[in-house]
């Protein structure tokens, strides 16, 4: 159960999804395997790397240790781990440069939701 409304962007065929939040972190990008829809439900395999941006603009990666643990314990293929790391770096760059959809698109959709 979620306590606050948020907007989730689920681009097709990418290794990331993003949540736009009214509170910190205002942007939370999950590095994931490409998502699928099954009977109207979103199936998302989280690769444990998260790129966060605060309201002040600071960007950082969360759960790198969790990613390394998952990689080892679940014997993640090197090609998948390399893809996750590359996408993570790309998302850091996108958030630091404040490029869309991370500049205003998410906030615009978020503003359409009823206040909590």
Q: What is the pLDDT of residues 61-81, one digit of tens each?
A: 999 999 999 999 999 999 999
Superfamily of domain 7-111: FomD-like (2.40.380.10)
Question: How confident is the model at residue 101, as a pLDDT?
Answer: 93
Q: What does 63-75 look like in DSSP terms, one character per residue?
A: -HHHHHHHHHHTT
Mean pLDDT value of segment 57-62: 96
pLDDT at residue 116 is higher than 70: no
Question: How confident is the model at residue 2, as a pLDDT?
Answer: 59
Higher pLDDT, 26 or 113: 26
């Amino acid at each position: 159960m979620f306590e606050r409304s948020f907007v989730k962007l689920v681009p097709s065929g990418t290794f990331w999804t993003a949540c736009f939040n009214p509170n910190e972190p205002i942007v939370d990008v999950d590095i994931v395997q490409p998502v699928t829809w099954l009977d109207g439900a979103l199936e998302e395999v989280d690769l444990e790397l998260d790129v966060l941006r605060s309201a002040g603009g600071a960007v950082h990666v969360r759960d790198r240790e969790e990613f390394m643990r998952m990689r080892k314990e679940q014997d993640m293929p090197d090609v998948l781990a390399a893809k996750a790391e590359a996408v993570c770096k790309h998302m850091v760059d996108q958030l630091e440069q404040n490029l869309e959809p991370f500049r205003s698109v998410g906030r615009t959709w978020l503003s359409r939701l009823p206040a909590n």
